[in-house]
Copies of this chain bind each other. A is one copy, B any other.
Amino acid sequence: MELEQAKQQFIQTWGNFGTQWGINRSMAQVHALLIVSDSPLCTEDIMERLSISRGNANMNIRELTNWNLIYKESIAGDRKEYFRAEKDMWEVAKRIVKERKRRELEPLQQHLAELKKVEQSYESISFVATIENIERLVSRLDSLSGTLMKADEHVFFGKILNLFK
């Protein structure tokens, strides 16, 4: 397979993978494109390479910036903004986890806490127990993600794997 072909394929694969996780295809594809690009790209470049509109490119670039997955980079003598991706994939994973935690786990925890305020009764006992069960799970995922964030990659996995062998 040729290099350009392989990159194209990767962009496709990453896009599909994204949609399965609630990330829209274009966003995942812009991300993939920047990951496999050796030099920073501007909006025009991205529009061309992915055949998407300016609006679409702009919106997803912004969103990826919010997720801390890509950075602005200026090129001397050019007034356009260029973008490059974080290429350390462990770092990428950590940032995605961090962001989803903030955007989803935390709000979910609040919702669950609200639900426990249901009026007490014989019938509500098992409901509250279930909610508490979920709270426990969520707070565990939460600590796990916190741990993940702080842990150095090598040390973390080394210890995990040793723990259970």
Hey, which bits of chain A sit against chain B, CB under 8 A? 1-3, 5-7, 9-10, 13, 17, 19-22, 35-36, 38, 87-90, 92-93, 104, 108, 111, 114-115, 117-119, 121, 123-124, 126-127, 130-131, 133-134, 136-137, 140-141, 143-144, 147, 150-151, 157, 159-161, 163-164
Residues of B within 8 A of A141 (CB): 93
Contacts A10-B115, A10-B131, A108-B17 known; A160 to B136 CB distance under 8 Å? no
Contacts of A5 in B (CB 8 A): 118
Q: Let me know if A3 and B35 touch, CB within 8 A.
A: no
Known contacts A104-B20, A157-B140; decide if A119 and B2 are in contact (CB<8 Å). Answer: yes
Q: A35: shortest Cβ distance to chain B, in Å? A: 6
Copies in the complex: 2
Contact of A127 among B36, B115, B133 (CB under 8 A): B36
CB-defined contacts of A140 to chain B, threshold 8 Å = 157
Determine whether the beta carbon of A3 is less than 8 Å from that of B36. Answer: no
A-B contact pairs, 21 of them (CB 8 A): A1-B115, A6-B118, A7-B127, A9-B111, A9-B114, A13-B111, A19-B22, A21-B22, A36-B127, A87-B130, A89-B134, A89-B136, A93-B137, A143-B157, A143-B160, A143-B161, A144-B157, A144-B160, A151-B164, A160-B160, A163-B163
